[in-house]
Amino acid sequence: MINRAYTEHATAALVGRDIRQFIDLGCGLPAYPALHETAAALLPDGTGVTIAYVDHDPIVTAHTSALLTPHHRTAPSTYAPTSCAPRAS
């Protein structure tokens, strides 16, 4: 799981620099450890981290909302991008 190892390494580096707010874009279905679990484990009291999980798939958002525990400061969200095609001149 190279992606998971990178996420853990990057989260540790950011938490070490006092960054406590994260956005997980294209989060997909939750995997263990989730970003909020990794960040909280690095802090002495396990709190003080805010995560926004964002995905364009409403099914992913529904599953993420159902799986997140209420004591974590997380915010699952569905993002529906609009067309980014360049305008004709």
pLDDT digits (tens, 9 = 90+) for 25-64: 888 887 788 888 888 888 877 677 888 888 888 888 777 7
For residue 13, what are the contacts with CB-CB under 8 A and spacing of at least 6?
none
Return all residues near 41 (Cβ < 8 A) that are at least 6 apart: 33
What is the model's pTM? Answer: 0.71
Partner residues linked to 22 by β-bridges: 51
Query: pLDDT at position 43, please?
Result: 85
**Number of helices (H), then strands (E), in the chain:** 3, 4
* Sign of the dihedral defined by the CA atoms of residues 69, 70, 72, 74, in that order: positive
Residue 12 — pLDDT band, cuts 50, 70, 90?
very high
Alpha helix ranges (H) inside 26-86: 35-41, 58-67
